[in-house]
Amino acid sequence: MSNEVEKKGNHVDFWLGVVLGGLVGAALALFVATDDKDELKKNLLKKGKILLKHFGDLCKDVEEKGEEIKEGVVRKIEKVKETANQTENQIHQKTRKFFLSKGKPLVKK
């Protein structure tokens, strides 16, 4: 269980790093290209706050979608296991039928 939590944390940390890295890169590009530094700082801070506000919602949405996908995969795996068990039982029954005739071996010793 803790291993799953660590994996989830790693994915969230990765995407958080990607988003923040992109934001910092975009901010630096704008900062270097713009002459009015004070206005740019104000705009970046304002837009950064808006992005961070919505980033939490985005993380929740992504996590919920991931859980839905996980549940779907688990259901499909269970169906595959059930089908494999049924097939194994059928093969076992047909093999017994092939090698036994009315409960007696076909080959005499």
Give the model confidence (pLDDT) of 44-73 as tens digits.
788 878 888 888 888 888 888 889 999 999
Domain range enclosing 67: 2-97
Considering only residues 1 and 81, tell me which one the structure prediction assigns the higher pLDDT. Answer: 81
Residue type present at position 100? L
Secondary structure class of 6 (helix, strand, coil)? helix
Mean pLDDT calculated for residue range 37-46: 79
Q: Is 105 inside a domain boundary?
A: no
Q: Is 37 inside a domain boundary?
A: yes
Indicate the number of domains in the chain. 1
Q: What is the pTM of this model?
A: 0.45
- Cα–Cα distance, 79 to 71 (Å, whole number): 12
Residue type present at position 104? K
Question: What integer pLDDT is reported at residue 2 of this predicted model?
Answer: 45
Q: Is 57 inside a domain boundary?
A: yes
